[in-house]
Structure 1
């Protein structure tokens, strides 16, 4: 039987280990982006809060502050749970059941927001977006499944047919999310899956074979979804987004209205910006500027410097994640780190690509910066896991 004194000693050693090996640069970059995002959410949402919500300018600011408090707890949980637990088959079975139940819940009783039926409101507590949970789930599920396979058979010897179950699970999730018409999430889920497989250690030729299988199955599934749900997916709003992507200035009073005003915001900011809180485009020209178009407000108010700050912070987190993946000898740690880094990278590209006209708009939020409870909650948990992996890599180097 362990005495209280022994238990306290073990806990003290455990905490000392965390303090010595904690990834402070990663944590403070994450914290800075969250707080910077909070400031910009307040600045960008003042008019929307007054006109559309409770009449006070701090409506979205207060909600995001509460979201960040909950997200801080999620970060701590992710940082202190040893990442090895995510390779446990029973835990993965529970998470698989959870993600399927949540995605099915959307189909049964989902909330339509922004043209996509991708939200639920569990027991009236808060709006929750299961596709965000699916992004983290795919990272952990793929990494855990491939890791367990590699214990009996080296990953480089695995064939695509040896990992058929993860592919099936991924395809089912893609089908659910695709029929929600959340096409941005489909792109991100696809990028995550490819990144985790690439980091698994599978031979390049076999990876290409796997990638071909994914493209084939994915294309067939997308074709089937469009055939069955074409009228719901290819809505006038979505066709308008495609048209505005191809020729935005031809539809500036219609489907390109948001894109054009985003361009105006970016152009107005110039090098130094018009000043924090001084944006004109947030005064009714950009609908919901605190979400997917928040970078346009940052560019307008803080200029190129503000954009560089955000891109630098996101770039550092992505670089850190990929560096951790490259340094570790543990395939599970490598896949988790690469998956989290790719999630942030792909989501940032989809958001900024839509804002700048590189790709059609999808409504995807900018990680850590945009308003959104589900997004910051799951990203914070993922960052906690990444910090945990980073601590293991530091310990691994010392041994």
Structure 2
């Protein structure tokens, strides 16, 4: 291990690391600011309750980052590692179906209570799909061209289908959409022929169509009053501003109140009982209210920089495994940011997807940190290989 670290340490990507750390610390500060009133007046906790829990989450997340950094990324293509990833991912998704629960009456049974901590397996699925699909297509590429007929790619699509099925039972349509885009990004970076990629996209469209038909058939059980209300709120939140449009309307007020300069750190009005759980997926609204356009710019620039570094690494990498892992992680962070900001701004319906590295949540920050460690490992090895070639 010492030899390995000494060999690659000088290629460590410091800009990527410091951007990741600064985003996590900035998120920690904003979680403390956003959650104080909610913790005390709604839940009767201490004002620093969510801050302390996120600090503990960050401590674990740093260890996760180091694990991702230390393990050579080429290990993920080993058969044993691939089986471990698939087995663990599908087992946890099945466990959600059996013993999962819905926090805060969110309508989606997507969490597992382990006593000490709660985990959300759909978050693990995002990273698991990246590593499994990247490893699978790397092996296929080594033995010849990737083709949907000549070189069967049924196994990963079968695993993807099972995962999507269990997530649909929760249901968490936001996670399904995000995971689908991540998988497509990895496949697009695999180097497969465009015709093959088109066939796969066609298959996924077919599955999506079948899913929509299923939703229509079982519409009475799926389209509950809560879900229909949220959809109507997306179309016109002010029409039902006291119920299903309440969160979006107060999010708009927070953004509008902040303006360019913001009201000042800690000075948000909307967090004073108006915006429910402001430390979660709506934290960017509080950032906008307190720190204005500058606060939003800091967050979006930091996240954009990480996505840029990942995609640039994917372009420069000669190893297909490195290319697919970097593209998958970059698309994960980029698309998740778009879904969060899009929901907050009313561009797309709300899905409850957290803002990467900023929103409160243990599973999200730990899995994202592990992904950042893997990305940093890919960056080190690719830099070294490119310099030697």
Q: TM-score, normalised by structure 2?
A: 0.96
Name the SS of the counterpart of 1:282 in structure 2.
coil
Partner of 1:262: 251
Q: Is the 8 A contact 2:94 2:166 kept in 1?
A: yes
**Cα distance in 1 between the residues matched to 2:256 and 2:102:** 32
Partner of 1:120: 112
Partner of 1:6: none
Partner of 1:372: 361
Residue 303 of structure 2: which of 308, 314, 320 is its match?
Answer: 314
**Cα distance in 1 between the residues matched to 2:16 and 2:25:** 14
Residue 234 of structure 1: which of 211, 223, 226 is its match?
Answer: 223
Q: Is the 8 A contact 2:8 2:381 kept in 1?
A: no
Q: Is the 8 A contact 2:168 2:176 kept in 1?
A: yes
Q: Is the 8 A contact 2:251 2:285 kept in 1?
A: yes
- CA-to-aligned-CA distance 1:20-51 (integer Å, 9 cap, x gap): 01010000000000000000000000011112
Cα 1:243/1:73, change in 2 over 3 Å? same
Partner of 2:213: 223
Cα 1:159/1:294, change in 2 over 3 Å? farther
Partner of 2:142: 151
Q: How many residues align?
A: 386
Residue 23 of structure 1: which of 13, 26, 41 is its match?
Answer: 13
Residue 321 of structure 2: which of 322, 332, 357 is its match?
Answer: 332
Residue 54 of structure 2: which of 56, 64, 68 is its match?
Answer: 64
Point out where structure 1 has 5 or more consecutive residues left out of the alignment: 1-9
Q: Is 1:353 matched up with 2:328? A: no
Query: How far off its partner does 1:174 sit?
Result: 0.7
**Cα distance in 1 between the residues matched to 2:209 and 2:380:** 39
Query: How far off its partner does 1:219 sit?
Result: 2.4
Q: Is the 8 A contact 1:139 1:193 kept in 2?
A: yes
**Cα distance in 1 between the residues matched to 2:93 and 2:308:** 31
Query: How far off its partner does 1:233 sit?
Result: 2.7
Aligned structure 1 segments of 4 or more residues deviating by more than 6 angstroms: none
Name the SS of the counterpart of 1:117 in structure 2.
coil
**Cα distance in 2 between the residues matched to 1:87 and 1:232:** 41
Residue 182 of structure 1: which of 140, 162, 172 is its match?
Answer: 172
Partner of 1:4: none
- CA-to-aligned-CA distance 1:5-34 (integer Å, 9 cap, x gap): xxxxx72x4333332010100000000000
Q: TM-score, normalised by structure 1?
A: 0.94
Q: Is the 8 A contact 2:8 2:384 kept in 1?
A: no
Query: How far off its partner does 1:218 sit?
Result: 2.8
Partner of 1:3: none
- State the superposition RMSD in angstroms: 1.4
**Cα distance in 1 between the residues matched to 2:27 and 2:325:** 25
Q: Is 1:285 matched up with 2:285? A: no
**Cα distance in 1 between the residues matched to 2:333 and 2:150:** 26
Partner of 1:273: 262
Name the SS of the counterpart of 1:338 in structure 2.
helix
The equivalences for 1:94-173 within 5 A come to: 94-113=84-103, 114-122=106-114, 124-155=115-146, 157=147, 159=149, 162-173=152-163
Cα 1:177/1:226, change in 2 over 3 Å? farther
Residue 297 of structure 1: which of 286, 289, 309 is its match?
Answer: 286
- CA-to-aligned-CA distance 1:275-332 (integer Å, 9 cap, x gap): 0000000011110000000000000000000000000000000010000000011000
